[in-house]
Chains A and B, each alone.
Chain A
């Protein structure tokens, strides 16, 4: 079993993929945090649903 030193091009690709992965993970965390912040605010209200879409409460 041999471990060859990765070519420079693979190092660059790895850095790009790792960076993109971290950015996406951060984006998910940010959207989650933003949602929590928005629904925790006093003025938050669930938007009115379309008329007649009250799921059985006629």
Chain B
């Protein structure tokens, strides 16, 4: 049974029940799966920074960055409730399923946004808090309200919202923005389009019915394949640039060489294929590249973390200034 049909059947079951949200419904508004990426990348940004942070302060920072990310997810669900009711994949969400009203989701999202920004500012500094506030604004206003229904490039520019967390984590530790944090941002920013478009090629989505322009339908699948290759090529120098900053190290270099080679090969294969070949093998290559793209980002951030840990232990090839 697919996720979509499972969500739809859950929605039908819950529609029959009286409206009264449980704790889990409010938690679902925070988009927990997206939050996990936010937590991981923000944590790497915080730990890779050259300033040590008290563990309680660090925990508080990551918690409120995650809550801020979740709050923007709740506000996104409030704004997109109309299209969530149309698409099978999203019909089971708390608002379209009738368990939470749009007003409740809006109030919940606004309250959590304010709490997370204020608490992050008090726990760390107001540069980090300002970046978190901007991220929430960017995701809700720039992406959800403006770009998402207007241009097929929505995912490119909107991807910036998902790229901010390591920058916020870094700012929480250092109190500022530097080349390292800008490059971590750029890495996620450039990674998002090929990652998402690889998914769009094999997921038969109902975005068209909902009136959301996606590159696969507005410009066709050939153009989407061209875009995947172009963005993957542009991603390579960005990922290698990080290796030559203070957070780069031998582990990162090795990971970047291997992961870029894999991702580039996948993007090249996607570019060379056409729809006939893709349909013949059930989009096997596109699915593989999508999976590799997840390993790619996870692997590079783990490598940053490993180098930071080894540098902290003052092991010779990793010690600061020796690379």
Contact = CB atoms under 8 A, between A and B. Distances in A.
Interface stretch (B22-30, B80-88, B277-285, B301-309): B22-30
Interface stretch (B52-60, B181-189, B264-272): B52-60
Contacts of B322: none
B52 to A, nearest CB: 11
Q: Give the interface size bracket for B toward A.
A: 10 to 19
Contacts of A30: 60, 63
A13 B20 contact: yes
B17 interface: yes
B24 A41 contact: no
A20 B23 contact: yes
A11 to B, nearest CB: 8
Given A15-B24, A18-B23, A37 B54 contact: yes
A41 to B, nearest CB: 6
Chain A residues touching B, majority SS: helix
Contacts of A28: none
Interface in A1-52: 8-9, 11-13, 15-16, 18-20, 30, 33-34, 36-38, 41
Given A30-B63, A37-B57, A38-B57, A16 B123 contact: no
Contacts of B23: 15-16, 18-20
B18 interface: yes
Chain B contact surface mostly:
helix
B122 to A, nearest CB: 8
A8 B63 CA distance: 32
B202 to A, nearest CB: 37
Interface string B12-37: 00000110111110110000000000
Nearest to A19: B23
Contact of A12 (B22, B27, B56): B22
A8 B18 CA distance: 9
Nearest to B123: A34
A34 B54 CA distance: 10
Contacts of A33: 56
16 contacts: A8-B17, A9-B17, A12-B21, A12-B22, A15-B22, A16-B23, A19-B27, A30-B60, A30-B63, A34-B57, A34-B60, A34-B122, A34-B123, A37-B56, A38-B57, A41-B54
Nearest 7 CB-CB pairs, A to B? A19-B23, A37-B56, A12-B22, A15-B22, A15-B23, A37-B54, A16-B23
Interface of B: 17-18, 20-24, 26-27, 54-57, 60, 63, 122-123
Interface of A: 8-9, 11-13, 15-16, 18-20, 30, 33-34, 36-38, 41
